[in-house]
A = this chain, B = another copy of it.
Amino acid sequence: MDDSGAPTAARGGGIEARRPGRARVLRTIRQHTQVARVDIARETGISPATVTAITADLLSEGLIERISPDAGERPKTSRGRPREALKIRGAAHLVAGVKVSQGAITVLLVDFEGRELGTQEIPRAERRSSAAALVDQIALAVDRACHAIGLDPARVSAVGVGLAGYVDGLRGLVHWSSALTERNVPLADLLSQRVHYAVFIDNDANLVATAEHLFGRGQALRTFLVVTIQHGIGLGVVIDGQLYRGARGCGAEFGHTKVAPGDGAACQCGQRGCLEAYTSEYALLRQAEEVGAGTFTDMAALQEAAAQGDAGIADLLSAAGEYFSMGLANLINIFDPELIILAFEAAGNHPLCQPEIVEAVHSKVVQVDVAPPEIVVHNWGDRMWAKGAAAYGIERLTHLLVEDLGAP
């Protein structure tokens, strides 16, 4: 039963995916927030006996806990032994999510259940900084967030960090990011060496996808896409219940897929004809200026101008919509996902978030006698991004705890 000194090193068990049962059970509990063992068994197909065994392990490891009978709400409709609900034990671990954007670093502290414990935002002096400086800033931000709610930073188990750019999440490598002055920065390692907690980094669109998978609309789905519209345009791909990363670790660069041949609009990335060059806020603002319609501060101003009858701007916006719907339709044609989630900052008014866009997308999708995937819109403010990073931290940490062989 307990450690009797004998080495319990790696013996039996599969090679590829370790202890799949444990992972599925824990994931099921997370999905349902609270759920009885019978239901876990029914849902996963694992036998009740094994569910008991696995949950007993998880209980003894402190990762989950029983829910006190809680006289308050009794279903009362059922006879028989009452089911005992289980839930994730929030106190098991403290996780931070960090979103690095151009103007600030946003930190969100959550417990192992995903409940928000506190948040902190510290401004960044420069838009781009050296790797060393960024590491300092992140470490500092996490510490401050802890102190702000009276928690010892030493209790943090894991931190998820999200930043825009080409990020190889598995290797913890930032090929390029608009937040860094250097290229090919092993950011996860650098930060790890400075702090005591586990560090996981990824492209920010992947973080949103993870968050939707773990806590949002993607929970019950196997295959879905998340398109993020922020400064640039990002894509997170979940295939068969798993985040897809390309061979080089930096796949899904949707924003830089080409939508115009030849000499299309110039993009930040140095190439031409990128989707982002036609649809992102920064590109549209620049183009509006170029067509001589004056200077604008944000998307809302552009919309206002278009509504006032500025034909040049209206053209820009309608072209953006056309290209965007083209890009989305192509994603559907290629991936045939169950669902597409659009993550906008200010969804309601964004020109790429109008019902006509969805209609246009459907008109460009290959027609078969099965309904095309649904397209939904979610609001993702700056702090939601941090929450995505936290979700990613939880997921990777859970993976360590559940699938790898026990740490001493």
Contact = CB atoms under 8 A, between A and B. Distances in A.
Interface of A: 14-16, 20-21, 44-46, 166, 175-176, 183-184, 222-223, 235, 239, 244-254, 256-262, 269-271, 273, 319, 322-323, 326, 329-331, 333-338, 363-364, 366-370, 373
Closest 9 A/B residue pairs (Cβ): A246-B336, A251-B336, A175-B368, A257-B330, A247-B338, A253-B333, A261-B322, A248-B370, A253-B366
Contacts of A319: 261
A247 B271 contact: no
A166 B368 contact: yes
A244 B239 contact: yes
Given A326-B261, A367-B270, A335 B222 contact: no
Nearest to A323: B261
A19 to B, nearest CB: 11
A213 to B, nearest CB: 15
Contacts of A45: 15
Contacts of A20: 14-16
Nearest to A237: B334
A251 B166 contact: no
Contacts of A235: 334
Contacts of A333: 251, 253-254, 256-258
B248 A223 contact: no
A74 to B, nearest CB: 33
A176 B273 CA distance: 33
A166 B367 CA distance: 9
A393 B350 CA distance: 49
Nearest to A322: B261
Given A46-B15, A175-B369, A246-B336, A326 B258 contact: yes
A247 B223 contact: yes
A288 B367 CA distance: 28
B252 A334 contact: yes
Contact of A222 (B239, B247, B260, B322): B247
Contact of A368 (B223, B248, B262, B364): B248
B334 A254 contact: yes
Contact of A14 (B14, B244, B259): B14
Given A166-B366, A246-B336, A367-B270, A262 B322 contact: yes
Given A247-B222, A248-B370, A364-B271, A334 B261 contact: no
Contacts of A46: 15
A334 B247 contact: no
Contacts of A373: 247
A95 B262 CA distance: 47
A261 B14 CA distance: 50
Nearest to A329: B258
A166 to B, nearest CB: 5
A20 B246 CA distance: 24
A109 to B, nearest CB: 32
Contacts of A364: 258, 271, 273
Contacts of A256: 333, 366
Contacts of A253: 333-334, 336, 366
25 contacts: A14-B20, A15-B44, A15-B46, A166-B368, A175-B369, A175-B370, A235-B334, A239-B244, A246-B335, A247-B373, A248-B368, A249-B336, A250-B366, A251-B334, A252-B336, A253-B333, A253-B336, A257-B330, A257-B333, A259-B259, A261-B326, A262-B322, A273-B326, A273-B364, A331-B334
